[in-house]
Amino acid sequence: MIGPSTRLAALLGDPVDHSLSPRMHNAAFRHLGLDCRYLAFRVSGERFEEALRGLGALGALGANVTVPHKERARRVVDALDEDARACGAVNLVLFRRNGSAAWGANTDVAGLRATLDELPPPRREGALLLGAGGAARAAALALAERTEGNLWVAARNPERIRDLEASLPGLEGRCRPLAWGDLPPEPWDLLVQATPLGLPSRPWDEAYLSRLLDAAPSRALDLAYRPEGLTELEEASRRRGIPVASGRRLLLHQGVATFRLLTDREPPLEIMEQALEGGEAS
């Protein structure tokens, strides 16, 4: 039952209609008997800082941050954890008692490490990363640790690729920019999709998707996910026999890290996983 002592946790982004974070975190709160609720709010860029201040004033536990605000969030917190500092993006803001945005963390990086570790071993060197925004920066940091060889980065804004290469540790001499729509001129092992493509409002260009998978990567990871069913990349990869990790796996692993920071409690992993799959926690 919601009452005056109920603590709020939030997700701020645009869009958020597809998000399974509320289902996952509220299931964990219920299981542990915590008087907390997790809600998603669609917030535009110009209202983002105002929304954060409001949550702080209400005594919220914290706020997850998703597209397109992860880099913006980095600039409004007082301190950063190691992964947020390294990748230049924040996906979790925790508040001081006075309501200010005290600390920014990036639990996406931990989630990506765990998700990449669930994929089959690589067959060759090299990876192709689609995107250069906040999610892609977290992915690049994890890829720098978990892969060898060149990291090809395709994005619509070449300047963002240059900034990503210059600011991320472990990419020196490995980052190779690509124009959007181009493919690496050499064999590569892993495809990581870190753009909004695949969300219900952002369909793929089918020809580009086919060319990517016809290049025969041995593994794929789609950071996007849909509330029900598979993304286009997941479906197309499975048809070709390419092992693919869903964005739901990333959501689970980053959610576990987020829950631990929000509550200082050990997350109920199985309950959170059931919630994402539409089980009892739905």
What superfamily in CATH does domain 120-242 come from?
NAD(P)-binding Rossmann-like Domain (3.40.50.720)
Among 185, 109, 180, 163, which Cα is nearest to 140's? 109
Residue 224 pLDDT: 95
Beta bridge partners of 38: 9
Beta-sheet strand order (sheet of 244-245): 175-179, 151-155, 127-130, 190-193, 219-222, 244-245
Same fold flag, 7-106+249-277 and 120-242: yes
**Over 90: is that where the pLDDT of 173 sits?**
no
* Spatial contact of 106 and 89, defined as CB atoms under 8 Å apart: yes
**Does residue 133 have a known ligand-binding role?**
yes
Residue 279 pLDDT: 58
**Does residue 108 have a known ligand-binding role?**
yes
- Whether 70 is catalytic is yes
Query: Which CATH number applies to 7-106+249-277?
Result: 3.40.50.10860
**Over 50: is that where the pLDDT of 114 sits?**
yes
**Total residue count of the chain as it appears in this document:** 282
**Does residue 279 have a known ligand-binding role?**
no
**Does residue 91 have a known ligand-binding role?**
yes
- Choose the catalytic residue: 25, 69, 70, 219: 70
Among 80, 76, 83, 34, which Cα is nearest to 55's? 76
Tokens read off for 25: 């975190």
- With bands split at pLDDT 50, 70 and 90, how would you rate the model's confidence at 282? very low
Tokens read off for 17: 């209609």
What residue spans define the domains of the chain? 7-106+249-277, 120-242
Q: Does the bond joining 185 to the residue before it have cis omega, within 30 degrees of 0?
A: no
Rounded Cα–Cα distance for residues 147 and 117 (Å): 11
Model confidence pLDDT, tens digit, residues 9-58: 999 999 999 999 999 999 999 999 999 999 999 999 999 999 999 999 99
Q: What is the percent of the chain where pLDDT is above 70?
A: 97
* Spatial contact of 153 and 164, defined as CB atoms under 8 Å apart: yes
The burial of 239, by beta-carbon neighbours within 10 Å (0-12 exposed, 13-18 middle, 19 or more buried), is given as exposed
Beta-carbon contacts of 148 under 8 Å, excluding residues fewer than 6 positions away, are 122, 125
Average model confidence (pLDDT) across the chain: 94
Residue 3 pLDDT: 87
* Spatial contact of 24 and 276, defined as CB atoms under 8 Å apart: yes
Mean pLDDT of 240-248: 97
* Spatial contact of 220 and 237, defined as CB atoms under 8 Å apart: yes
